[in-house]
Structure 1
Amino acid sequence: MAAAQEAKRANILVAGAGSTGLAAALAFSRAGLRTLLVGRVPPPLPGRTVALFEASVRFLDALGALERVKAKGCPIEAIRMIDDTDQLLPVPELTLRAREIGLLALGVNISNDELVAILLDLCRAHPEIEMVDADIADYELNGDGVAAILADGRRLEGDFLVAADGRNSRARAMAGIDVKEWTYPQVALTAMLRHEFPHENISTEYHTRSGPFTLVPLPGRENAPNRSSLVWLMSVADARRRLTKPREELEFEIEDYDKSELGAMKIEGEVGQFRMGGMQVSKHAAGRLALVGETCHVFPPIGAQGLNLSLRDVADLEDCLASVDLRNGRELSRALARYDRHRRADIGFRTHGVDVLNRSLIIPYLPVDLMRGAGFIAMTALGPLRRAVIREGVLPHLVLPRLMRRPAERNDAPDAPQRRAGSRS
């Protein structure tokens, strides 16, 4: 009984302290909502970076994080896609440039660990956010509110729960939301690389029969002016073989896959790995809970859509709830129905596109090769089509929430929206 009397309460409970959960806490607290952020900060991820495109850059600007992100990251001015499948029909190289759509850069690439550290510092400094470094053992979800029961018995209460606790989300399971999962016969190796020649702020993606081999620009360091991050998809057997190789042999193989365009390669730190799979959910919100990030979508790291899509989840949810009294069940239900429609369209489109491209690479089927090659040829030859593809990748037209609409060239923070009366505790 004493523990129940001492329960902490906020407007928003955010479950999960990874980059998506941290961004969610900042977005809702920015709007004046008291927020409890619950979960363990994830451990370092070897070799992992995130390429944040223009819509995400604008969102980070709205959260007050962009200046720090740009200081630690490297701009991506263009993306080169090179077919290296040895298919029958020669496919031209395709380059997507930021200047074609009037931008200085398509986005910025930053270490995942550095991004988490930046968002974590901002959350710790925000007066409307209270962080609780603990594991959640159970949830209570009802028509009047939500509660998280911690492993040590403490109870946290709120008007609404944002589930950002990952692909094995306990919150999602408690809400009874069904999941569809699938796997690919691939593993991704990730690493930070030093190389001989400059990358010119261009990300290069080789499409091979085992999946994409991608080098994304990173900022230089003292004694290492030329650096990139690597995401390399391959079979499980090849991943096992390469991880047991001497470091120098693996570096030679990476240089060979890059056709020596960036010269000699040296691996910084550890090489990371993760198995490829996909996931979709039956719905993106239920009752007083909404799913964001990898609680509701997982797919291979092709086109750098993962975290960009997760940040769009957060911005879209904040947009849908911006003028809602969180204690009014009818208003909340309408807002969440809108959120589910938006996310179903956006996530479904991205998931299908990534799945088709990945399968088209690893299945050597001539009609599929011809269709993929025809798409490359059309985008290379037709400027309007190419520019439309670039815009859809960095500033999606299907859903562009308010916090992602304003260009990021300004220095002033946007005004927080006015909340409805009764939306705060």
Structure 2
Amino acid sequence: MSSFDVLVIGAGPAGLAAAILAQQAGATTALLAPRLEARDRRTVAMLGVSVDILKQAGIFAAVEGVSAPMRTMRLVDSTRRLIRAPLVEFHASEIGREVFGYNIPHAALVSALEQAATAIGVERIDGVAASIEPDLDAVTVVTGAGDTITARLLGAADGRRSPGREAAGIGVRSWSYPQSALVVNTAHALPHDDVSTEFHTETGPFTLVPLPGLHSAVVCVERPAEAERLMGLSDDALAAEFERRSHFLLGAIRIDGPRQVFPLTGLAARKFAARRIALIGEAAHVFPPIGAQGLNLGLRDAAVFANVIAGHLADPGSAAALSAYDRGRTGDVFTRTAGVDALNRTLLTSFLPVQAARGIGLFAMDRLPALKRAAMRRALAPHL
């Protein structure tokens, strides 16, 4: 039997960051997850405080060279509706920042986090949790190989179907959207100039996110049938479709890698900690790929998780610690869940008053610099 102060289940970026930061906070920490070959060519946009968290975890220098800075965020109303919003550009320099954040290859991020976890002394246990049993003083986990692990606090970073969440007895609210996202990397003829551009359409956003050089990641949100049609196109035909949807902003486009399609869903846990178990990442919240909130929120979970541990080292899974974690995440998660959901639904609705409200809001933001700066600072707000 192995015993630790903290056991994190799940080796995605949020789980790895949580384990690293917990170890830094002074807790003996282990990470339970199978080792998988990194094949994911997706990228993740890390904004504001997320970059600070990666620096605190000691891994940003390892990924900076393969990442692309995002200095400007551009919103374009590409609908054909009667009421349309103006083009709005948010510049990091307007709030005294050099960049909003960086678009980082997912595989490089995971690799850097795994190396950092090993270097700092997080014990890696290869395997899965066959059972999770919380008790008054500890959580007992039996692995698929039959090994027993106990910890005073379990960080459940084990995905949207989280066994850890189920063991904690925490319910969820879940929903789906009539949309799917097609994700693929591209090369193009014209420079993106470190600008992330989001075209808003009647079926969802079409987003071009910078990658190093003449490359960008594309996230195309569409009706499921249309997403599958796009998935079936040849590379040349899909590239031509992207050129049209982007209004030839980046010139000629070439598909640069495999494609992925996944349905858009949402999930929010009813609470974020119970029975010596704290929820992290998609165990706590799932977002559609709008506004780059998903993993950014997961990293803030990890940072608050470690901060609570640092303040409760005598017993990081105590009722006081769990209550502090729940309070620390409730407002941030619920506010951003509601914001992303509302933004997505305003694109889908044909109700004119809602379209008008969205257009007026973006118009006001474009014309009132103080409002615009406040919105940018709120989007990059600290996690603590």
Coarse TM-score class (shorter-chain normalised): over 0.9
Does residue 269 of structure 2 align to residue 275 of structure 1? no
TM-score by length of 2: 0.97
Amino acid across the alignment from 2:19 = A
Match 1:363 to one of 343, 349, 361: 349
2:157 counterpart residue number: 164
Q: Report deviation, 1:391.
A: 0.8
Question: Which residue does 1:98 correspond to in 2?
Answer: 92
Q: Tell me how far apart the structure 2 counterparts of residues 328 and 165 of structure 1 sit (CA, whole Å).
A: 19
Q: Distance in 1 between matches of 2:150 and 2:3?
A: 5
For residue 18 of structure 1, the aligned residue among 12, 16, 20 is 12
Instruction: Please give the residue correspondences for 1:288-303 in structure 2 after superposition, counting only pairs within 5 Å.
Output: 288-303=276-291
Distance 1:367 1:250 in 2: 35
Q: How many angstroms apart in 1 are the aligned matches of 2:26 and 2:180?
A: 42
Figure out how many residues of one structure are paired with residues of the other and give that number.
Answer: 384
Indicate how the Cα distance of structure 1 residues 167 and 316 shifts in structure 2: closer, same or farther if over 3 A, else same. same
Any stretches of 5+ residues in structure 2 without a counterpart? none
Match of 1:421 in 2: none
Aligned partner of 2:196 in structure 1 is 203
For residues 328 and 273 of structure 1, do their structure 2 counterparts lie closer, same or farther at Cα, with a shift above 3 Å needed? closer
Aligned counterparts of 1:45 and 1:214: Cα–Cα separation in 2: 22
Q: Does 1:40 align with 2:54?
A: no
Distance 2:372 2:219 in 1: 24
Work out whether 1:138 is the aligned partner of 2:125. no
Aligned-pair CA distance for 1:135: 1.3
AA aligned to 2:341 is: D
| Displacement after TM superposition at 1:227 (Å) | 0.5
Gaps of 5+ in 1: 1-6, 221-225, 402-425
What does the per-residue CA deviation read over 1:260-311, in whole Å, with 9 as the maximum and x for residues that have no partner? 0101111111011211000011110002110010001011111101111011
Q: Report what 1:249 is aligned to.
A: 237
Q: Tell me how far 1:88 sits from its aligned partner.
A: 1.1
The separation in 2 between residues aligned to 1:347 and 1:314, in whole angstroms, is 13
Structure 1 match to 2:167? 174
Q: Which residue of 2 aligns with 1:4?
A: none
Residue type at the aligned position of 1:125: A
Q: Is the 8 A contact 1:163 1:171 kept in 2?
A: yes
Letter in 1 for 2:54: L
- Rounded to whole Å, the distance in 2 between the matches of 1:99 and 1:252 is 34
How do residues 108-147 of structure 1 correspond to structure 2 at under 5 angstroms? 108-127=102-121, 129-147=122-140
Partner of 2:366: 380
2:210 match: 217
Deviations 1:201-227 (A, max 9, x none): 00000000110000010112xxxxx01
Of 44, 48, 52, 1:50 maps to 44
1:270 counterpart SS class = coil
Distance in 2, Cα, partners of 1:328 & 1:134: 24
Using the TM superposition, give the Cα deviation of residue 154 of structure 1 relative to its aligned residue in structure 2, in angstroms. 0.7
Partners in 1 of 2:220 and 2:116 — Cα distance? 32
Q: Deviations over 1:70-124 (max 9, x none)?
A: 1221110010000111221242100011001100000000111111111111112
Secondary structure at 2:308 match in 1: helix
Q: Which residue of 2 aligns with 1:266?
A: 254
**Residue pair 2:41, 2:107 contacting (<8 A) in 1 also:** no
Of 290, 309, 317, the residue aligned with 2:297 is 309
Give the structure-1-normalised TM-score: 0.88
Partner AA of 1:347 in structure 2 = V
Question: Over residues 309-352 of structure 1, what are the superposed CA-to-partner deviations in whole Å (9 max), with x where a residue is unaligned?
Answer: 011111112112212144387xx212321221221111110000
Contact kept in structure 1, 2:25 and 2:307, CA below 8 Å: no
Give the AA of the match of 2:182: L
Q: Would you say the 8 A contact 1:46–1:271 is kept in 2? A: no
After superposition, the CA RMSD in angstroms is: 1.3
CA distance in 2, matches of 1:237, 1:181: 22
Farther-moved stretch of structure 1 (317-326 vs 232-241): 317-326
Alignment-mate amino acid for residue 101 of structure 1: I
Aligned-residue sequence identity (percent) comes to 40
Q: Distance in 2 between matches of 1:113 and 1:273?
A: 18
